[in-house]
Amino acid sequence: MLNFILHRAGQTLIVLFGVTLIIFFMLRVMPGDPVALMFAEGDDEDIGAARAEFERALGLDRPLYVQYFVFLGDILRLNFGNSIVRGGEPVLDMVARALPLTIELSIYALLIALVIAVPVAILSALKQNTVWDRGGTAFALIGVSLPSFWQGIMLVMFFAVWIPIFPVSGVLDTRLSITRVTGAPFTDAVLTGNWEAAWSVLRHMTLPALTLGTGICGQFVRVLRSSLLEVKHQDFIDAFRARGLSERAVVRHMLHNAMPTTAVIIGLRIGALLSGTIVIETVFAYPGMGYLLIQAINARDFPVVQGVVVLLTAMVIAANLMADIIHGMLDPRVKLSGGRGNK
């Protein structure tokens, strides 16, 4: 177990290092820089001096590699710096506002995906090679291959233009407000017993969550279906029947056996889910991490972009780690150990 933790910690450091390197230099290579955006081109010479002053204050005049090591050092001390653009607000404050929204949205999307995927996968695996199976597989394929931004835009059109049941932007009706407890709007609304606001948040989250959820749902159907099919033909399934178990109980045990694999895949898909939020939050103007990231990129707000990306990466790694631990808990044959070749 200790071996496992050390191994994973090492991996995590390497990944984080790589990500900081990539994001840092990508930002500098990108055309346009924050200062240029602030000081419009073609102004008089005075601004030239002010501009140099500003660059020096931000450390942007130093050689790139120096800037990088300063950035790395800050991150290691968990200092993510301040926004260049928004009156110097600390990046961590901005993240603290956006992150709970993204987490709630992701959980909602995950739930939607599971609620759809589990019955579809069961039906399609049990009735293999029937109309049910074909339908389920086709559904999964569509879910996997439809680009989510397109799906999002379709949903916006449908629910904004034709039948406006669900709101298509924001998190909350403007006339309502929520007392802040954790920062996560739905949770806070429920905690403070503000049911009207909770309902409003839920409705605001529905379209983005649906878009995200159906995107990953296709994956889940595929994984769950194939692991159910694998289990279905094992001897012990017939052994259950030979002991007089009902079909219902047999299916329950099949699911139990298919769970570990599915849990790992869900963990791996958390990354896709979070990167999906980047697009979807922008489409639905939902002020989470993705929205924050896109805005920061547009403003070339380097510290915010860097901070958000590093934190998102850390979250994905944490999710994968959790999936492995859950896998180990669900499947007694799995021993958590470092490196490969663990049986």
333 near another protein (CB under 8 A) = yes
In the list 5, 57, 70, 239, the residue contacting another protein (rule: CB under 8 A) is: 239
Return the bridge partners of 82, or none.
Answer: 90
- Name the one residue in this structure whose structure tokens are 């993510």: 80
> Residue 124 Cβ, how far from another protein at the closest point, in Å?
17
CB of 137 to another protein, least distance (A): 20
| Closest distance to another protein from the beta carbon of 330 (Å) | 7
CA-wise closest residue to 253 among 275, 273, 263, 238? 238
Contact region for another protein (CB under 8 A) — 6-14, 23-31, 276-284, 324-332? 324-332
Comparison of 181 and 239: residue with beta carbon closer to another protein: 239
Q: Which is nearer to another protein, 114 or 330 (CB)?
A: 330
The footprint of another protein on residues 197-226 (CB under 8 A) is none
**Region from 21-29, 36-44, 252-260, 303-311 binding another protein, contact rule CB under 8 A:** 252-260
DSSP string, 233-254: TSHHHHHHHHTT--HHHHHHHH
Distances (CA, A) of 157 to 83, 222, 282, 286: 34, 29, 15, 16
Q: Which stretch binds another protein (CB under 8 A): 53-61, 101-109, 161-169, 232-240?
A: 232-240
- 244 binds another protein, rule: CB under 8 A: yes
Do the Cβ atoms of 182 and 100 come closer than 8 Å? yes
State the minimum distance, in angstroms, from the CB of residue 91 to another protein. Answer: 44
249 lies in the site for another protein, by CB under 8 A: yes
298 binds another protein (CB under 8 A): no
- For residue 335, the minimal CB distance to another protein (Å) is 11
User: Which of these ranges, 90-98, 166-174, 203-211, 228-236, lies near another protein under the rule CB under 8 A?
Assistant: 228-236
Choose the stretch contacting another protein; rule: CB under 8 A; options: 40-48, 115-123, 175-183, 327-335. Answer: 327-335
Tracing tokens 């006339």 back to the chain, one arrives at 175
> Among residues 56, 62, 180, 256, which is the contact residue for another protein, using CB under 8 A?
256
Taking the CA of residue 51 as centre, how many other CA atoms within 13 Å lie in the half-sphere pointing to its CB? 16
Number of residues lying near another protein (CB under 8 A): 21
Q: How far is the CB of 246 from another protein (least distance, A)?
A: 7
Tokens 């920062």 identify what position?
Answer: 183
167 φ/ψ angles, rounded to the nearest 5 degrees: -65, 150
Burial track 157-166 (b if 16+ CB lie within 10 A, e otherwise): eebeeeeeeb
Q: Which two tokens stand for residue 253?
A: 């045990």
340 is a site residue for another protein (CB under 8 A)? no
List Cα–Cα distances, 287 to 154, 208, 219, in angstroms.
Answer: 20, 12, 27
Is residue 118 near another protein by the rule CB under 8 A?
no
The CA distances from residue 41 to 59, 83, 149, 162, 251, in Å, are: 21, 22, 34, 44, 68
Exposed / middle / buried, residue 326 (Cβ in 10 Å: 0-12, 13-18, 19+): middle
Which residues from 83-112 bind another protein, rule CB under 8 A?
Answer: none
175 binds another protein (CB under 8 A): no
Is there a contact between 204 and 165 (Cβ–Cβ < 8 Å)?
no
Q: Which residues bind another protein (CB under 8 A)?
A: 234-236, 238-246, 249, 253, 256-257, 260, 330-333
